[in-house]
């Protein structure tokens, strides 16, 4: 099968590697020609996936339109910010487009598959989500990559996008030196918050306690390898948002998603205390310790 992966970051490279099992004809597209040349020269993606060898038969391509021509499957693994621009290349694509990007378009509140319905009207589409860290996926030498299916595309995509905001909050807990008890309580409330907002967007409530919701949420909030948790940890330790962004190799999708989710929740009039406080910490220079304190106060009031 001819498969093209758009995006040569950690996730895209890990998936392209996984798909190169000898049966598929895999092409990896990246927008940065110098970065792709490095991959070709070193046989590794040292920037995003250090130390992991790439299969020699994997093709690299810098021409976007050329990379998707003749592809039967296109896996889109670019940051949410570039998703609309990159997928304009799929205007005439009639195969299957699979989004692995977790985020919400700020201006429209659309999920990534929502953008695909507009940009790739002739394609079939799906979202891939669940407990999966890019680095671990590539390291995990299992004979199979187990995939479960769900018809609740909105639930799967929202669970995947919103978990990253909760993970930033969980990281703030870590950075402030809070214990596991507090963090688990936060993540539990985070799941309820994701579910509330998701259901308001038309998702099925039962999707959220499953693998794509809770499973992914737990990995992101508890793993040391998680980018979003790590972003929050630095924030909790006192680094400024701008400084963290400036020194991050990969974008932590929870950062833009906090803004979009905050706007979406206001529009739909849904209570989202964790998202609100993380939004304030990221975009309104609120002190992270104060944000968590206010969150606790809000919870107490709500429970009274």
What is the set of active-site residues?
163
CA pair distance 147, 130, nearest whole angstrom: 9
187 makes contact with a copy of itself (CB under 8 A): yes
- Let me know: does 126 contact 151? Beta carbons within 8 Å: no
Interatomic CA distance for residues 193 and 197, integer angstroms: 6
Q: Which of 41, 146, 269, 301 forms a contact with a copy of itself (CB under 8 A)?
A: 146
Contact 33, 43 (CB under 8 A): no
- The whole-angstrom separation of Cα 27 and Cα 292 is 44
* Beta-bridge partners for 45: 49
Q: By CB under 8 A, tell whether 198 contacts a copy of itself.
A: no
CB of 119 to a copy of itself, least distance (A): 30
The pairing of beta strand 124-127 with beta strand 96-99: parallel
Among 39, 60, 75, 137, which residue sits at the site for a copy of itself (rule: CB under 8 A)? 137
According to CB under 8 A, which one of 25, 38, 46, 136 is a site residue for a copy of itself? 136
Give yes or no for a contact between 142 and 17, defined as CB atoms under 8 angstroms apart: no
141 near a copy of itself, judged by CB under 8 A: no
The single residue among 139, 243, 245, 268 that binds a copy of itself, judged by CB under 8 A, is 139
Single out the residue of 184, 199, 200, 289 in contact with a copy of itself (rule: CB under 8 A).
184
- What's the closest the beta carbon of residue 181 comes to a copy of itself, in angstroms? 5
| Residue 112 sits in the site that holds a copy of itself (CB under 8 A) | no
DSSP 253: T
96 sits near a copy of itself (criterion: CB under 8 A) = no
302 binds a copy of itself per the rule CB under 8 A: no
Distance from C-alpha of 54 to C-alpha of 138, rounded to nearest angstrom: 10
Among 185, 200, 263, 289, binds a copy of itself (CB under 8 A): 185
Residue among 60 and 135 whose Cβ is closer to a copy of itself: 135
Q: Give every CB contact of residue 230 below 8 A, 6+ residues apart in sequence.
A: 171, 224, 252
Member of 133, 167, 168, 172 binding a copy of itself (CB under 8 A)? 133
DSSP state of 285: -
Residues 207-226 that bind a copy of itself (CB under 8 A): 209-211, 214-216, 218-219, 222-223, 225
In terms of Cα–Cα distance, which of 19, 13, 238, 41 is closest to 134?
13
Say how many C-beta atoms besides its own lie within 10 A of residue 109's C-beta.
16
Please state the closest distance from residue 73 (CB atom) to a copy of itself, in A.
22
Binding-site ranges for a copy of itself (CB under 8 A)? 130-133, 136-137, 139-140, 146, 148, 179-182, 184-185, 187-188, 191-192, 209-211, 214-216, 218-219, 222-223, 225, 300, 303
């Amino acid at each position: 099968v001819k498969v093209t992966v758009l995006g040569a970051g950690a996730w895209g490279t890990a998936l392209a590697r996984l798909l190169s099992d000898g049966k598929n004809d895999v092409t990896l597209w990246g927008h940065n020609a110098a970065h792709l040349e490095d991959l070709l020269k070193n046989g590794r993606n040292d920037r995003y996936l250090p130390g992991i060898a790439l299969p020699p038969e994997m093709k690299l391509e810098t021409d976007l339109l050329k990379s998707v021509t003749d592809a039967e499957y296109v896996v889109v693994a670019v940051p949410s910010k570039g998703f609309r621009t990159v997928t304009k290349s799929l205007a005439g694509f009639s195969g299957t487009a699979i989004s692995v990007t977790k985020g919400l378009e700020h201006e429209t509140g659309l999920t990534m598959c929502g953008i695909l319905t507009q940009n790739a009207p002739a394609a079939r589409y799906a979202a891939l989500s669940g407990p999966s860290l890019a680095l671990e996926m590539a390291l995990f030498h299992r004979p199979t990559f187990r995939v479960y299916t769900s018809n609740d595309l909105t639930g799967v995509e929202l669970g995947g996008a919103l978990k990253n905001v909760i993970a930033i909050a969980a990281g703030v807990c870590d950075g402030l030196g809070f214990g596991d008890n507090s963090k688990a309580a936060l993540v539990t409330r985070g799941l309820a918050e994701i579910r509330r907002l998701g259901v308001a967007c038309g998702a099925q409530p039962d999707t959220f306690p499953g693998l794509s919701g809770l499973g992914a949420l737990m990995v992101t909030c508890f793993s040391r390898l998680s980018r979003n948790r790590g972003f929050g940890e630095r924030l909790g330790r006192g680094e400024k948002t701008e400084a963290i962004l400036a020194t991050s190799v990969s974008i932590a999708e929870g950062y833009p998603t906090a803004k979009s989710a905050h706007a979406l929740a206001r529009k739909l009039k849904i209570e989202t205390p964790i998202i609100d406080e993380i939004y304030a910490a990221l975009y309104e220079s609120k002190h992270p310790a104060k944000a968590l304190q206010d969150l606790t106060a809000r919870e107490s009031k709500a429970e009274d």
